[in-house]
Amino acid sequence: MIALCHWEPNGVFLKPLIALAEKGAPYTSHWFDPTAFEQFAPGFPANTESALQLEREGPLLVVGGEVLSSTSFQLEYLNEVVTGPDLFPASAHDRYRVRAWVQYLGLGLGPVVSALGCARFLRPVLAARESAALRAQLAAIEPLERRNAWLAVLDGAVDEAAWQQRLAVPVARLEKALTGADWLAGPAYSLADIDAYALVAPLRTLAPAVVNAVTTPHLAGWLARIDERPAVRAALALSRSGQPEAAWVPGTEPSRWG
Amino acid sequence: MLKLYHWEPNANSGKPMLALAEKGVAYESHYLDLLSFDQHQPEYLAVNPDGTIPALVHGDLVLTESTPIMEYVDEAFDGPPLKPTDPVERWRMRWWMRFFDAYFAPSMSMIGWAVFVGPVARQRDPEVLRAAIDRIPLESRKIAWRKALFNEFTPEELAESRRRVLFCTDVLEAHLAKHTWIAGKTFSLGDINGFNLGYALPLSQPDHCNDARTPHIMEWLRRIYERPATKATWALGRTPMVQRVAFLERGNTHLSAAAVQQSVLPGNSQGWKKP
């Protein structure tokens, strides 16, 4: 039986929840609150890869003693081992397109979305808990990049305009790809759509001037098609807060090359 | 006909080159001189408008992301499989390729450009360099090239890159102490990716990556170096940079890293010109 350690169905946490719902697969849900630092508690599933994963905080799949992190690769794993509808295209080229999209968006769009989400929603939560105890918890986080990602939410300068600007290229590329195509990689809904939806859907809240029905009509239409999928509704219905769109934790680091 | 547009068997260009060689798939080679900015010339932009290398052209299809290209090569052509059959190993292969591509490689390349490629490239007319940068289509690549060519890295950025390279070397050594190959028990695209990134690590970080300190990395690099596909691919190199791979020849350890580095690294800009 697959176990999934996850939080609110938002951002990267949403990806495996949708995939498992699309598959109709049984799994054991282990809810944790990363803002309470439960993922650092003794006994929480961990390995080298989960500590160093570039998404920083995210869901974990636990299968037969193995701990699998990094959501795009969790999706490929789930599609390979779980019965149910095949969520990967049949042709090698469409499969390439899935992988190229998730890499491009994960490294390009992922850092911007999590930074905007953290600035809007996590920063006030941490600020309200400002205390020596919180600082001690943050100071104990390893590795350094993971600790610094949390500290940046609390202490870093927020240049929301610059972040919004960084959305322009990937959003334009998505809009172009979806002009004349219903789905991102091939003739059918696939892992590329699940992966991208988890990163793009929050922009309707975080950057409504960038993603909306007027300036990005094809992207908006694609989001609406995915919104309506029963598996997506089922995944979002797992929210305990009733506001999954407010659930953010530090994510992928932006490119250090500028 | 299958065409591959590539630079040296090194980093991103070397990934599809070595994957194709391991599969035994013939291809038409189109060598682009990265340092002469061939990749930003109109002829190549007609192939890949982003102006990034490599690009694989298969019939009407154009593929431009090196790690996904390797998975495509494995799936689209006959030949020995380059992905493990075990799904957990396949996950591990992909996890490590992302770690190499997005964490280890950017730090390695920042150091490489600052201390190695940048000084050589800067021997050219600055106006020529500026014009070359202006032709780069992607803004993010423009920024990267400007930093590289005009040495705009801050001391803090370079120090952080050095810290990360040493940290990654230790992480990789610990991983290879537990696993024969990157994915686990099976040679895979993960090793092809890692070799392209790390084949010169014993030369660029001789105090940190060597037989005494990182024996598992050294053995892993030598095992990959000894594969016929690796030998054939690195023989396609045109610059002294890729000749560094010979350091992995067993028995070459009596050569000091510094001596080998001296023989092939800067000071000799001729080595960077097309033969």
CATH number at residue A166: 1.20.1050.10
Contact B106 A255 (CB under 8 A): yes
pLDDT of A221: 98
Q: How many domains does chain A have?
A: 2
Q: Are residues A124 and A147 in the same domain?
A: yes
Q: Which residue among B91, B102, B157 places its CB closest to the CB of A107?
A: B102
A with B: how many residue pairs have Cβ under 8 Å apart? Answer: 94
Q: Which residue among B71, B98, B107 places its CB closest to the CB of A54?
A: B98
| Substitution target from B64, B78, B88, B179 for chain A, most A beta carbons within 10 A | B88
Q: Which residue among A69, A81, A96 places its CB closest to the CB of B63?
A: A96
Domain boundaries, chain B: 2-76, 88-272
pLDDT of B260: 53
The residue that leads in pLDDT, A83 or B261, is A83
Q: How many CB atoms within 10 Å of residue B56?
A: 27
Q: Are residues A219 and A115 in the same domain?
A: yes
Contact A54 B91 (CB under 8 A): no
Domain termination residue (choose one: A51, A81, A111): A81
Q: Are residues A154 and A204 in the same domain?
A: yes
Contact A95 B95 (CB under 8 A): no
Q: Which residue among B68, B92, B157 places its CB closest to the CB of A103?
A: B68
Any CB–CB contact under 8 A between A66 and chain B? yes
Closest among B141, B148, B87 to B120, alpha carbons compared: B148
Is residue A167 in some structural domain?
yes
Range of the domain at A45: 2-81
Any CB–CB contact under 8 A between A214 and chain B? no
Any CB–CB contact under 8 A between B98 and chain A? yes
Any CB–CB contact under 8 A between A77 and chain B? yes
| CATH assignment, B88-272 | 1.20.1050.10
- Residue-level length of chain B: 275
Q: Are residues A98 and A218 in the same domain?
A: yes
Q: From chain B, pick out residues whose CB is under 8 angstroms from the CB of A93.
A: 58, 61, 63, 72, 76
Q: What is the mean pLDDT of chain B?
A: 90
Of the candidate ranges A91-105, A156-170, A180-194, B222-236, the one whose mean pLDDT is the lowest: A156-170
Contact B68 A99 (CB under 8 A): yes
- Residues A238-254, buried b or exposed e (16+ Cβ, 10 A)? bbeeeebbbbbbbbbbb
Q: Is the distance from CB of A211 to CB of A99 less than 8 angstroms?
A: no
Contacts of residues A202-205 at CB distance under 8 Å and 24 or more positions apart, as own/partner, are A202/A10, A202/A11, A202/A113, A202/A116, A202/A117, A202/A245, A203/A113, A203/A116, A203/A167, A203/A171, A205/A245
Contact B87 A81 (CB under 8 A): yes
pLDDT of B54: 98
Q: Are residues A21 and A130 in the same domain?
A: no
Domain termination residue (choose one: A81, A106, A136): A81
CATH code (residue A46)? 3.40.30.10
How many angstroms away from the CA of A178 is the closest CA of chain B? 18
Using alpha carbons, list the distances in angstroms from residue A57 to A5, A75, A173, A229. Answer: 11, 16, 27, 26
Contact A256 B107 (CB under 8 A): yes
How many angstroms away from the CA of A227 is the closest CA of chain B? 28
Contact B72 A92 (CB under 8 A): yes
The neighbouring-strand residues paired with A5 are A30, A60
Contact B98 A103 (CB under 8 A): yes
Is residue A7 in some structural domain?
yes
pLDDT of B265: 43
pLDDT band at A182 (very low <50, low <70, confident <90, very high): very high
**pLDDT score of A12 more than 60:** yes
Any CB–CB contact under 8 A between B83 and chain A? no
SS (H, E, C) B100-115: HHHHHHHHHHHHHHHH
Of the candidate ranges A61-65, A158-162, B151-155, B205-209, the one whose mean pLDDT is the lowest: A158-162
Q: Are residues A67 and A127 in the same domain?
A: no
**pLDDT score of A183 more than 90:** yes
Q: Are residues A147 and A113 in the same domain?
A: yes
pLDDT of B151: 85
Q: From chain B, pick out residues whose CB is under 8 angstroms from the CB of A148.
A: none
Is residue A175 in some structural domain?
yes
Any CB–CB contact under 8 A between A79 and chain B? no
**pLDDT score of A119 more than 60:** yes
Any CB–CB contact under 8 A between A131 and chain B? no
Contact B71 A74 (CB under 8 A): no
Any CB–CB contact under 8 A between A69 and chain B? yes
The predicted model gives A212-238 an average pLDDT of 98
How many angstroms away from the CA of A69 is the closest CA of chain B? 8
Q: Which residue among B65, B91, B175 places its CB closest to the CB of A73?
A: B91
The neighbouring-strand residues paired with B235 are none
Asked if the B2-76 domain carries CATH number 3.40.50.80, the reply is no
pLDDT of B270: 34
Q: Are residues A168 and A142 in the same domain?
A: yes
pLDDT band at A72 (very low <50, low <70, confident <90, very high): very high
Low-confidence stretches of chain B (pLDDT < 50) are 262-275
Q: Is the distance from CB of A112 to CB of A160 less than 8 angstroms?
A: no
Q: Are residues A9 and A53 in the same domain?
A: yes
